[in-house]
Amino acid sequence: MEPDVSQTMLDNPLREGLSLERLPSPCAMVIFGASGDLTRRKLMPALYDLALEGLLPPGFSVIGYARSPKTNEEFRAEVRESIQQFARRTPIDEGLLSNFEQGVSYVSGDFSSPDDYARLNEELDRLDRERNTSGNRVYYLATPPSAYANIAHHLADHGMVHPLDDERWTRLIVEKPFGHDLQSARELNETLLKYFAEEQIYRIDHYLGKETVQNMLAFRFANGIFEPIWNRTFIDHVQITVAESIGIENRGGYYDQAGALRDMVQNHMLQLLSLVSMEPPPDFDAESVHDEKVKALRSIRPYQPEDVEACTVRGQYREGWVMGQPYPGYRDEARVDEASVTETYVALKLFIDNWRWAGVPFYLRTGKHLPRRVSEIAIQFHKAPHPPFESNVTQSLEPNVLAIRIQPDEGITLKTTAKVPGPSMRLRSVNMGFLYGTSFLVESPDAYERLLLDCMLGDSTLFPRRDGIEASWEPITQILEGWDASGKTELPGYPAGTWGPDEADEFMERDGRQWRQP
């Protein structure tokens, strides 16, 4: 007899002490765009890992929906291959994987065909009868944004969206990009809200599922020693870096219309910013956390068109070497305009105009084909006002920096100053900190595992709310308008494998600061 997916919870040591409140009610998940890379690399492996840890409900089922014609058996074979290749925990448990596959099926259909949605509805009804999924639904839109409105309309038109007061629940997960500017984001919100209530819409940002990002809230609000100094009196500035060593990876058609500002800053980086800068919520429930994040985003000082160039730096990678491999320049990539002025690197400075952060600059930077893949938040404190040492001893000392590493090697370090052992007063910067892997001796779950589970549980804390999405688009749209007004036909270049254009270093030097090299 094959093991029930949910029963692995009983003998899994990683689940020791886990409350049964974290086990969702029975449900089925429909993945629109199931033939895509996201489903193969992230969604199916994450669902398997949840099953392995006993966190899926009994009878949990997945329906893949895409245009490609294939049978259930063919889709299950693809799912098996993706899990074997990308699952976080190995070796694969063949018994559990076989049991997981029993709940996997496929519907071939077009996003705009009523007949195909009728067949999808029949398959959901079958799962309710045969696998007791209780009419509960998660719809995951792993599709181009242009399909969102069409899918939402047809789901509602075929009675597959239950109202909030129904005993059955319906939830919609929407992938980024959520609009391409403030106006389009508002229009998309309004369209989805015709068919789904706000409480049913889960706008996913996988960065918010990362353990270190979530730990930001615990670090700030569960430790009494940090929050009193988390303000303009003690903090000189904040740097947020999201560096990627890869290029655009055959996504020239998409990326040339998006660029680094839309692709990374509007969503991932401003979400990180809101967690760093938000006020303490009265309670750790979704609405309280969202309220404080939105307040922080709405406090970002508006960009005036004439100030945008002074507060931002754009760049494009040129041909170069990354980790020993040669790469072409951005304009030589497939499906990229040879005269493109789309930025593959962006650095910007912003201010949060409230009592806590008045006058503290936040520096954000992200780019493709940088020397290494790393994401971190660095809080730099003011230097000691009058250290009682000879000037030649303190000249080379660095300020205190609290660095929160999001990826890789997740952890937190605090740079302090200590005396070097010996007869003379020699000082040197040292790091105190911890790494998740060595401190907890368990591997952090993938971000999609946490976010998929939270959606099934109805916990929207880690999913941006409508007003948060629109608040994050406001400064981004102002920057885009300023760039358009500048009329630039060339951007500063940087060789692939370097930390960006020279203009980015000069940008910091004008403020008497420099970029931290993670």
In a domain, 216, yes or no: yes
Verify that 246 and 192 share a domain, yes or no. Answer: no
53-108 confidence digits (pLDDT tens): 999 999 999 999 999 999 999 999 999 999 999 998 888 889 999 999 999 999 99
331, 317: one domain? yes
Exactly one of 268, 290, 369, 382 is catalytic; name it: 268
Residue closest to 178 by CA, chosen among 419, 389, 403, 463: 463
- Residue 443 banded pLDDT, cuts 50, 70, 90: low
Q: Which residue has the tokens 């939270």?
A: 454
Confidence at residue 217, expressed as pLDDT on a 0 to 100 scale: 86
Residue 66 maps to a domain = yes
**Measured between alpha carbons, how far is 413 from 409 in angstroms, rounded to an integer?**
11
Q: How many CB atoms lie within 10 A of CB 218?
A: 10
Given pLDDT bands bounded at 50, 70 and 90, which one contains residue 430? Answer: confident
Q: Is 381 exposed, middle or buried (0-12, 13-18, 19+ CB in 10 A)?
A: middle
Residues 156 and 57 in one domain: yes
Q: Does an H or E element contain 172, and which? A: strand 170-174
Containing structural domain, residue 342: 210-376+460-509
Q: Is the residue at 407 inside a domain?
A: no
pLDDT > 70 fraction of the chain, expressed in percent and rounded: 92
Residue 282 is assigned to a structural domain of this protein:
yes
**393: in domain:** no
Q: What is the CATH number of the domain that holds 466?
A: 3.30.360.10
Q: Is 369 a residue of the active site?
A: no
pLDDT at 442: 64
Phi-psi domain of 177 (left: phi exceeds 0; alpha: psi -120 through 50; beta: other):
beta
Q: What is the pLDDT of residue 19?
A: 42
Where a domain ends, among 164, 184, 204?
Answer: 204
Residues 32 and 171 both lie in one domain: yes
Q: What are phi and psi of 329, to 5 degrees?
A: -70, 160
